[in-house]
Chains A and B, each alone.
Chain A
Amino acid sequence: MQIVSLISLWFIPVLIGIILIYGTIKKVPTYESFTEGGKEGIKIAVSIIPFLVGMLVAISVFRASGALEYVMGFIKPALEAVGIPAEIVPLAIIRPISGTAALGMTSDLIASYGPDSFIGRLASVLQGSTDTTFYVLTVYFGAVGIKKMGDALKVGLLADLVGIGAAIIVVTLLFA
């Protein structure tokens, strides 16, 4: 447990240090490279605004109407019997389908339950540890014209399930 929090604390500063030292040794114009790459960050942040607005409005409406609470009431007892918080289920379902939708849900969960709550941390780990299977599948296979996907979808979704399970177990062990 201690090691994991130590890694969390040291990882980013150490990585930044390595990059800067390595860049200087290799005579990269570090500051210019940094600002060049940073410009792309602005582009990305701005370009996801419409996606996030659409998804967050839909989720907010669903939540504010009371529909979310109603659905949760049904699935909660069964899930909690096996140690899965029901609040996380919508995120787990949407994660393989749409990256920006999942991002919206993650921020909604963090906003509603607090970033340092169990749900907030679980949402964070879940969002960070799996990728959008359907997106990757359509983009990569679509781009090169693969029509028969074979076992690809099955493998991808099962791997997502492993990731979700791992996220729940790790967060429960470390933070609960």
Chain B
Amino acid sequence: MVNIIWVLLTLIGIVFAMFNGTMSEVNEAVFNGAKEAVTLCIGLISILVFWLGMMRIAEDAGLLKKLANLFKPIVKRLFPEVPNDHPAMGYILSNMMANLFGLGNAATPLGIKAMEELKRLNGGKDYASRSMITFLAINTSSITLIPTTVIAIRMNYDSANPTDIVGPTLIATFCSALGAILIDRYFYYRRTRKG
């Protein structure tokens, strides 16, 4: 899907420029776009290094594990099919904590582990169980406490207050997570009524 969008964006731009007489602007855009991307990534290094360094301290201190325990009672209610001490629950919680703190790279392997355990719970069948769909729904609207990359981009472009979007992002991400849970429940009850 990305492949098609990527090719279409570029091709349509080039063809459009032929008729629009904007070929010189397109030429410039190729080199400026590339340059801007590299400058941006260099700018991202600063905040990524700092934040991932901080998160490593939190991880080593067991702060993430402690938070996971704190959230357990709530998360348990979201996954009624998962037994209390099943390893799936542990992986689900660690994945959520990693997402919460913007550790995308750490979250993915934990999420896959959680999926494996959920599949085992489902008898190894190749269709998505109720818990799997719930887990995915929460993941796709992942609650992130601090949108570090976005802050870095805003800093790069000289924002007067790069972090003033933290509060609004928290509200929006909370809404989308709540929406995900409610929509997931709705589809679940629709399925069970039909079947």
Contact = CB atoms under 8 A, between A and B. Distances in A.
Interface of A: 3-9, 11-12, 15-16, 18-20, 22-23, 25-26, 28-30, 33-42, 44-46, 48-49, 52-67, 70, 94, 96-98, 101, 103-104, 106-107, 110-111, 114-116, 120-121, 124-134, 136-137, 139-141, 143-152, 154-156, 158-160, 162-163, 165-167, 170-171, 174-175
A7 B146 CA distance: 11
Contacts of B33: 53, 56-61
Interface of B: 1-2, 5-6, 9-10, 12-14, 16-17, 20, 22, 25-26, 28-30, 32-34, 36-38, 40-42, 44-45, 47-63, 105, 108, 111-112, 115-116, 119, 126-128, 132-133, 135-137, 139-142, 144-147, 149-150, 153-154, 156-173, 175-177, 179-180, 183-184, 187-188, 191
A97 B9 CA distance: 15
Given A53-B37, A140-B115, A146-B126, 14 more contacts: A19-B57, A56-B33, A56-B36, A111-B36, A128-B147, A129-B169, A132-B140, A140-B111, A143-B115, A155-B187, A156-B136, A159-B141, A162-B175, A170-B172
A24 B35 CA distance: 42
Nearest to A150: B128
A18 B54 CA distance: 11
A105 to B, nearest CB: 10
Contacts of A8: 161, 163-168
A18 to B, nearest CB: 8
A57 B30 contact: yes
B51 A41 contact: yes
B32 to A, nearest CB: 6
A107 to B, nearest CB: 5
A61 B30 CA distance: 6
A62 B112 CA distance: 36
Contact of A34 (B32, B34, B53): B53
B16 A58 contact: no
Contacts of A66: 16-17, 20, 22, 25
Given A19-B61, A22-B63, A61-B29, A116 B159 contact: yes
Contact of B48 (A34, A41, A143, A159): A41
Contact of B140 (A45, A62, A124, A131): A131
21 contacts: A6-B167, A11-B146, A41-B50, A53-B37, A55-B37, A57-B30, A57-B37, A60-B36, A64-B13, A64-B29, A67-B12, A70-B16, A97-B5, A127-B150, A129-B173, A130-B140, A143-B112, A150-B191, A152-B132, A155-B133, A166-B179
Contact of B139 (A97, A140, A154, A171): A140
Contacts of B170: 7
